[in-house]
């Protein structure tokens, strides 16, 4: 890592002159022609409570299950110690909002412990603020000792709290500071009692120092990662989290209801997020989200429920309560503290001045395909939408209304209604190559229609483990297109932001964390670099010499995905019909064992196995064996590991093989056009739960589907597979029937855009190279001349390189001066492989 970063720095500080590097790509930047304004709202953030993003994450509370509501039968995350006994009670509760409390029967010196969200991070010489509610069955006078424990039970700090309790009365102990005398990443909280007694406890809370010192605030490192993005807006609270989901034992009330999330934390009942599978305290509620938006300098964007959710809906002609809920939310955010009910409530909660809510989204992913029912959460969406629109505009005409369009199943979502709308919310979860291909997506959008908000986007196909560089560069290319078209695309936000490494319900995410550490993925760094170097005016750019002729490798092999499979009778012929590879998979004295990850010397040297586990998550290892004339892959859990033959096949060849699926949910995979395990084509037969066949292209760690057709495979049946390769074109046949015919598409070696930053007077040129080759480039500035500047470069040795908790800065940006010998209208710049490059040029 040190060597790679040194190389980046050395490259970034090179001296550039007009007669330097011989450029292959020409980037013409008309630096004297300033175009339309870059949208001042373009880059924002989208917070959703998913992956423990809030509770156990951004929300700084350290105690998990602080109100004892996570389970109706037992106090999860709490353990009685020292001879005490603990159980849940529903008797004589703190208030009507709490459904359970903890009943503790203690002997002297005994008590309870909480293990937090997979541990509590304590830092030496840091004080933690403790509060709790307590009721004693009988009058009690004694001491409660609050101790901070290490992961192995050592006491690292304590505070002794004198208490005097009246029988049967709840009393709050608050603002008790407990100082850690040592550090531990996975600590615990213990409360012990000096005298025996029977107590009820509720709302036991422990807070570290918080971002901006907010009393019910955010974890500092995570909030600072958001602050570094300089977001122009913050969308919240979701996502599917807004909608909720019904089950046999839950109803629509597990959706987000903002009025349950404000005020003192003991007055917040919390709720189960059925969508993402854990209980929410609602401590990070509507008020806190508005407050965080303000603290970040971001405009708040609130998403309201339109009476739709997963598995439930309110009839569209009975929406009065939902509409009033939206109106009240606006009043809470904006209403006068003295003359409005909800404005007064906001002031009571510590914020007399309005928050200035001007963006409101009506529904989340609720305008899909089934408007006559709720199969995809779309029941009569437009009839619902217009009721909200009219009510909000009548009372708050300044609020901009965002409407939903299709969220999946099409690359061309549209507003299928005549109703007025200010902004449309488009969502794209795709592959790196999809984002790359859509660099020009918005060039031809209708400028007379509604503005566009890309509310959710991310590479979710072919992203590696945590999200690799190739995925991030695909997103960067797409963002270049957003910038160039920000007269119509006025807002965009990556999704999701956060994941607690102990609860990855969705991946990838751009910020990963545990109780004590956090880091940004390459996608995070792309978001930060792009947002912090956006400029104010679009500058016209054209590029030439950056078209790549597609190439493929010359090896073949096999793979599986969650299935045991077998292969036999392999034969590969060249264009003249000559056999260039034949294998009947017969065991030999030197080829009788299993191979795992290419580690077995007994496996034939003509085959090489790739893959295996990375960070405990990636590609469960295959176990290949030669057995009785059959090649067997015997690990049903294996996903994507490949076995490649070392024979070079040329440009034109035909593969014949027989294959069958044995156990598992999918089929089998034939690999061809392979260079290595990250650059190949494969025919995935019976993929996606044995529902379709598809050609997938892996390039530099990214994956893209080139052709697909519906199809299934019978278990245990031998199929004849034939793949005819002719350069970069191929035909694929199953039992003699043509399933796919395709050619590899062209791609670009370099993507460019430019803006001018009026406050600094700098020209900002952004260059993305998503390929594995250096790209010599000349930037032509027309009648302007560059005198110097600086560069910010995000790159790595491989597109598949990632960050992890063990290597948090494996892929990270480097900033350095850009020295130019003399003023020049042509700046030569060698663009590194797999890189995002920002050049901030001073002009004369």
Q: Are 16 and 820 in contact (CB under 8 A)?
A: yes
Q: Which of 792, 791, 747 is nearest to 771 (CA)?
A: 747
Q: Which of 771, 79, 63 is nearest to 473 (CA)?
A: 771
409 phi, psi to nearest 5 deg = 80, 0
A 10 A CB-CB count for 104 gives: 24
Who contacts 118 (Cβ-Cβ below 8 Å, separation ≥6)? Answer: 56, 186, 500, 502, 514, 515
Cβ-in-10-Å burial (0-12, 13-18, 19+) of 318 comes to exposed
Residues 387-402, buried b or exposed e (16+ Cβ, 10 A)? Answer: bbbebbeeebeebbbb
Cβ-in-10-Å burial (0-12, 13-18, 19+) of 167 comes to exposed
Q: What are the residues facing 102 on neighbouring strands?
A: 88, 201
Give the tokens for residue 756. Answer: 């001018």
Measured CA distances, 15 to 10, 204, 390, 763 (Å): 10, 60, 60, 18
Compute the residue count for the chain.
Answer: 844
Q: Are 842 and 787 in contact (CB under 8 A)?
A: yes
Pairing mode, strands 719-726 and 652-664? antiparallel
Q: How many CA atoms lie within 13 A of 770 on its CB side?
A: 27
For the annotated catalytic residues, the residue numbers are 365
Measured CA distances, 692 to 46, 541, 709 (Å): 33, 41, 6
Alpha helices (H) along 217-366: 220-227, 240-243, 286-296, 320-334, 341-348
Task: Report the run of H or E that residue 767 belongs to, with start and end.
Answer: strand 762-769
Cis amide bond preceding 239, omega within 30:
yes
Q: Rounded to an integer, what distance in angstroms lies between the CA atom of residue 524 and that of residue 389? A: 34
Q: What are the residues facing 742 on neighbouring strands?
A: 730
Give the tokens for residue 314. Answer: 């309110």
113 phi, psi to nearest 5 deg = -130, 150
What number of H helices and E strands is found in the chain?
A: 11, 55
Give the tokens for residue 740. Answer: 């796919």
Q: Rounded to an integer, what distance in angstroms lies between the CA atom of residue 548 and that of residue 380? A: 47
Who contacts 422 (Cβ-Cβ below 8 Å, separation ≥6)? Answer: 400, 401, 402, 403, 450, 451
How is the chain split among helix, strand and coil, in percent rounded to 5?
Answer: 15, 40, 45
Q: Rounded to an integer, what distance in angstroms lies between the CA atom of residue 624 and that of residue 644? A: 11
160 phi, psi to nearest 5 deg = -100, 125
For 355-377, the DSSP string reads ----EEEE-SS--SS-TTS-TTS
Chain-centre distance for alpha carbon 34: 35
Measured CA distances, 595 to 290, 570, 598, 643 (Å): 56, 19, 6, 10
Give the tokens for residue 824. Answer: 């020049």
Query: What DSSP character marks residue 218?
Result: B
Q: Rounded to an integer, what distance in angstroms lies between the CA atom of residue 493 and that of residue 475? A: 11
Q: Which of 167, 837, 220 is nearest to 530 (CA)?
A: 837
Q: How many CA atoms lie within 13 A of 353 on its CB side?
A: 4
Q: Rounded to an integer, what distance in angstroms lies between the CA atom of residue 61 and that of residue 353? A: 26
């Amino acid at each position: 890592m040190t060597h790679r970063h040194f190389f980046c720095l050395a490259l970034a500080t090179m001296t550039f002159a007009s007669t330097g590097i011989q450029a292959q790509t020409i980037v013409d930047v008309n630096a004297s022609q300033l175009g339309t304004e870059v949208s001042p709202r373009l880059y924002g953030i989208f917070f959703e409570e998913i992956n423990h993003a809030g509770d156990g994450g951004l929300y700084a509370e350290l105690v998990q299950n602080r109100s004892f509501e996570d389970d109706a039968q037992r106090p999860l995350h709490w353990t009685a110690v020292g001879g005490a006994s603990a159980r849940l009670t529903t008797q004589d509760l703190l208030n009507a909002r709490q459904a359970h409390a903890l009943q503790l029967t203690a002997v002297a010196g005994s008590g309870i412990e909480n293990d937090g969200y997979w541990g509590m991070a304590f830092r030496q010489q840091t004080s933690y603020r403790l509060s709790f509610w307590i009721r004693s069955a009988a009058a009690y006078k004694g001491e409660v000792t609050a101790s901070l424990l290490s992961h192995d039970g050592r006491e690292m700090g304590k505070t002794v709290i004198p208490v005097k309790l009246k029988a049967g009365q709840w009393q709050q102990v608050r603002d008790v500071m407990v100082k850690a005398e040592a550090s531990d990443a996975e600590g615990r909280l213990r409360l012990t009692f000096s005298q025996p007694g029977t107590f009820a406890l509720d709302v036991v809370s422990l807070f570290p120092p918080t971002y901006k010192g907010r009393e019910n605030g955010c974890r500092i490192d995570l909030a600072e990662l958001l602050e570094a993005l300089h977001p122009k807006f913050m969308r919240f609270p979701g996502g599917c989290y807004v909608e909720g989901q019904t089950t046999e034992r839950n109803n629509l009330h597990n959706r987000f209801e903002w009025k349950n999330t404000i005020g003192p934390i003991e007055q917040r009942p919390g709720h189960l997020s059925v969508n993402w599978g854990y209980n929410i305290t609602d401590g990070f509620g509507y008020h806190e989200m508005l407050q965080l938006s303000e603290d970040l300098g971001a405009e708040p964007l609130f998403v309201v429920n339109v009476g739709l959710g997963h598995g439930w809906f309110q009839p569209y002609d009975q929406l009065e309560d939902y509409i009033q809920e939206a109106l009240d939310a606006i009043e809470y955010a904006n209403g006068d503290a003295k003359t409005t009910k909800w404005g007064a409530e906001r002031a009571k909660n510590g914020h007399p001045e309005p928050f200035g809510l001007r963006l409101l989204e009506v529904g989340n992913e609720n305008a899909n395909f089934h408007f006559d029912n709720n199969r995809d959460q779309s029941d009569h969406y437009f009839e619902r939408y217009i009721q909200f629109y009219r009510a909000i505009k009548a009372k708050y005409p300044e609020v901009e209304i965002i409407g939903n369009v299709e969220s999946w199943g099409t690359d061309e979502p549209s507003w299928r209604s005549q109703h007025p709308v200010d902004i449309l919310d488009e969502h794209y979860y795709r592959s790196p190559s999809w984002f790359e291909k859509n660099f020009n997506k918005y060039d031809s959008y209708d400028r007379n229609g509604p503005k566009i908000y890309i509310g959710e986007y991310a590479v979710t196909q072919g992203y590696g483990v945590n999200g690799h560089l190739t995925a991030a560069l695909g997103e960067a290319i797409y963002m270049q297109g957003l910038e160039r078209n920000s007269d119509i695309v006025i807002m965009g936000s990556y999704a999701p932001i956060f994941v607690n490494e102990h609860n990855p319900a969705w991946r990838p995410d751009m910020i990963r964390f545990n109780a004590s550490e956090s880091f940004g993925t390459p996608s995070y760094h792309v978001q930060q670099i792009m947002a912090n170097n956006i400029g104010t005016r679009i500058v016209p750019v054209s590029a030439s010499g950056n078209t790549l002729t597609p190439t493929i490798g010359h090896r073949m092999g096999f793979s599986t995905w969650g299935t045991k499979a077998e292969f036999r009778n392999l034969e590969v012929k060249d264009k003249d019909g000559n056999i260039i590879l034949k294998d009947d998979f017969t065991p030999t004295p030197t080829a009788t064992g299993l191979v795992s990850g290419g580690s077995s010397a007994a496996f034939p040297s003509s085959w090489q196995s790739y893959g295996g586990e990375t960070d405990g998550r990636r590609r469960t290892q295959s176990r290949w064996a030669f057995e009785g004339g059959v090649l067997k892959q015997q690990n049903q859990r294996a996903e994507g590991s490949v076995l490649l033959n070392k024979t070079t096949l040329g440009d034109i060849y035909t593969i014949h093989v027989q294959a069958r699926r044995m156990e598992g949910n999918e089929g089998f995979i034939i690999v061809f056009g392979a260079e290595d395990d990250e650059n190949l084509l494969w025919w995935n037969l019976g993929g996606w739960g044995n529902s379709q066949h598809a050609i997938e292209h892996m390039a530099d760690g990214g994956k893209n589907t080139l052709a697909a057709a519906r199809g299934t495979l019978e278990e245990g049946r031998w199929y004849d597979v034939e793949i005819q390769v002719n350069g970069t074109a191929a035909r694929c046949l199953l039992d003699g029937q043509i399933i796919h015919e395709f050619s590899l598409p062209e791609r670009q070696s370099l993507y460019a855009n430019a803006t001018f930053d009026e406050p600094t007077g700098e020209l900002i040129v952004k260059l993305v190279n998503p390929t594995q080759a250096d790209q010599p480039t000349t930037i032509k500035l027309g009648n302007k001349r560059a005198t110097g500047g600086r560069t910010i470069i995000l790159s790595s040795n491989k597109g598949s390189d990632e960050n992890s908790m063990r290597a948090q800065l494996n892929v990270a940006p480097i900033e350095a001066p850009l020295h130019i010998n003399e003023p020049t209208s042509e700046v030569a710049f060698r663009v590194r492989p797999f890189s995002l490059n920002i050049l901030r040029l001073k002009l004369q």
